[in-house]
């Protein structure tokens, strides 16, 4: 199974919104990848930005897969990658 870039963004929006007690529509996410730093995401809520690291992104993806696909996956089954867009490979 592979999650698209949009699904990764949705996962992070839903996860942050749940933790902050706000609507996912109030959260914007910009995915980033740098060779030296790896994967991260800039999260903006009400004009205030902060960054989350790959571990937080994977946590959000785990919850997204559970909530939307009714599958329990573990971090060791998830692999972020980027070509033209970022995507997540979910291993069985």
What is the rounded distance in angstroms from the CA atom of residue 40 to the CA atom of residue 23? 22
Q: What pLDDT is attached to residue 5?
A: 97
Average pLDDT over residues 47-74: 96
Query: Where along the chain do its domains lie?
Result: 2-90
Q: What pLDDT is attached to residue 65?
A: 97
User: Hey, what's the torsion of the CAs at 56, 59, 64, 70, to 10 degrees?
Assistant: 180
Percentage, residues of the chain above pLDDT 90: 96
pLDDT confidence bin for 87, thresholds 50/70/90: very high
């Amino acid at each position: 199974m592979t999650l698209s870039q949009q699904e990764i963004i949705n996962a992070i929006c839903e996860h942050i919104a749940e933790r902050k007690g706000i609507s996912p529509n109030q959260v914007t996410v910009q995915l980033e990848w740098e060779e030296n730093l790896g994967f991260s995401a800039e999260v903006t809520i009400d004009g205030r930005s902060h960054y989350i690291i790959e571990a937080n992104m994977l946590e959000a993806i785990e919850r997204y897969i559970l909530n939307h696909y009714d599958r329990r996956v573990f971090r060791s089954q998830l692999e972020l990658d980027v070509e033209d867009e970022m995507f997540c490979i979910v291993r069985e």
